[in-house]
Amino acid sequence: MNYVEFEFIITKGDSLRVLNLFFQLICFMKIHKVLTRSFLFCCLSFAMNSFVSAHAVIANTDSLVNIPIGGNSWRTDHDTTGGNITKDGIVNWTNSTAEFTTYVRLAKKGTLKIWLNSKVANGKSIFSISALNLTKKVAVTGDAFVDHYVGEWTITDTGYIAIKIKGLSKTGSYYADINSLKISGTAVDAKTAYVKNNDGDFFYWGRRGPSVHLSYLVPEKMNVEWFYNEVTVPTGNDVLHSYFMADGFGEGYFGIQVNSPTERHILFSVWSSFKTDNPAAIPDSQKIVMLKKGTNVHTGEFGNEGSGGQSYLLYNWKAGNTYKFLMRAQPNGNNHTVYTAWFFAPELNKWQLIASFSRPQTNTWLKHLHSFLENFEPEQGTITRKVLFTNQWVADESRKWIELNKARFTIDNTGAKGYRMDYSGGTDGPAFYLKNCGFFNQYTIRNTLFERPVSGKMPDIDFDELP
């Protein structure tokens, strides 16, 4: 039995094995005539202290906070072989180079104790658990899920901590199945932030990270026919699977995406008034009708998040450049509204038509104007991205422009429930900004109202020359 296994026995709370070990040791020393009265007293004293402290650890388990691996962890080495993260936690772990990281946000300073809830079908595995530049080891045996005590850390600041799990050795065919981490201590309270359960799709949304929004304040009773916005993704923030949405309105959205390492979209979609995630279920009388589209623009239907008409242009937009977006809504008085989107790329120095859709059973101007930032791939939830929105304007049917320089910051349900708190928004010089994911510590209070400086730079658009 080595030191790691002995430490595991004591901290786990297996007091009977501790006492048995000392009994064997005393017998051995007596046979070899090396036992003294003072040493016997020390052994018994240590054994009893171990018995008491081990049971104290067990008594504390009632107040442990359970951190599910499935919704709060990622494989750090980005490999996909020999160990995966599922809703059940870490499974099929055979790869010796695999490393997993779990993120938890603490709202208090103090002590942090960690347990590893895991099992090993056969043999014994030893792991290193690292956080805040301190590494501890724990040994795991047994084919049933058990909480294995790892150790205690001192938390000197609030915010996110990364808990890294790495396999050091195994005698069986695989390292372990790990269902959760359990934490306790004076640093743990009701404000500790993590994805708490697997009800519905919370693990999926929690791994994606919080979506963040800006809702623009528009003059009351204004018939908004036109909405103009400028978007800049700072260099290095064009993270894979990000959607930087510029012109959002009550019935749709319009912005730019990073779809793959080699593909980027200018995406414009309009929801059907018929509520379904299956576009095939929409009655013909409520289907979005494509009236026209721009050169090289793809059009079709979308589902899974409501359904409707979708269009996108394959365009290799570049981080650091500023792109312009223009939306128009035309209620035709026949219970239909036509939505049209144009995109301006500085590399081409011209406006391009994306598409024009007619939405049945709708008679409205542009309302609920907003922008948002989201990550739509759970594996990218550990990477921070930021976007700038500048120079927002609206115009009515007389084409009279009014500048918008106030916006309210909001978050989605993942942030509102306190599952993820790596979100922020506000002003950055002349721009509004949004930022999310990556487990940064400074967050923005939901519903905060921000005001950027007025630019006075009215959009230079010849309405009659738009394609």
- Per residue in 396-445, pLDDT (tens digit) is 999 999 999 999 999 999 999 999 999 999 999 999 999 999 999 999 99
As a whole number of angstroms, the distance between CA 322 and CA 306 comes to 30
**Phi, psi of 51, deg, nearest 5:** -60, -45
Q: For 239-250, what is each residue's pLDDT tens digit?
A: 999 999 999 999
Q: Where are the beta strands (DSSP E) in 122-195?
A: 124-131, 134-141, 146-155, 159-170, 177-184
Residue 11 has a pLDDT of 40
Greater model confidence, 29 or 348: 348
Give the DSSP per-residue string, 30-79.
HHTT---HHHHHHHHHHHHHHHHHHHHHHHHGGGPEEEEHHHHEEETT--
- Distance between start and end Cα atoms, the chain: 79
Greater model confidence, 81 or 63: 81
Q: Cβ distance 211 to 372 under 8 Å? A: yes
Which range among 127-131, 140-144, 194-198, 382-386 shows the weakest confidence by mean pLDDT? 194-198
Give me the chain's average pLDDT, please.
88
- Looking at residues 81-106, what average pLDDT do you find? 95
As a whole number of angstroms, the distance between CA 361 and CA 208 comes to 34
* pLDDT at 84 exceeding the cut of 90: yes
Domain borders along the chain are 3-63, 66-194, 207-465
Neighbours of 110 (CB within 10 A): 14
Residue 200 has a pLDDT of 60
β 406-411/252-260 pair status: unpaired
Residue 12 has a pLDDT of 41
Q: Cβ distance 122 to 203 under 8 Å? A: no
* Strand (E) or helix (H) holding 416: helix 413-416
Distinct helix (H) and strand (E) counts, the chain:
6, 29
Share of residues in the chain with pLDDT > 90 (%): 78
As a whole number of angstroms, the distance between CA 458 and CA 467 comes to 20
* pLDDT at 225 exceeding the cut of 50: yes
* pLDDT at 312 exceeding the cut of 70: yes
Instruction: Report residue 38 as tokens.
Output: 């003072």
- Looking at residues 290-298, what average pLDDT do you find? 97
Q: For 97-139, what is each residue's pLDDT tens digit?
A: 999 999 999 999 999 999 999 999 889 999 999 999 999 999 9
Instruction: Report residue 158 as tokens.
Output: 């609030």
Q: Cβ distance 301 to 309 under 8 Å? A: yes
Which CATH number describes the domain made up of 66-194? Answer: 2.60.120.260
* pLDDT at 49 exceeding the cut of 70: no
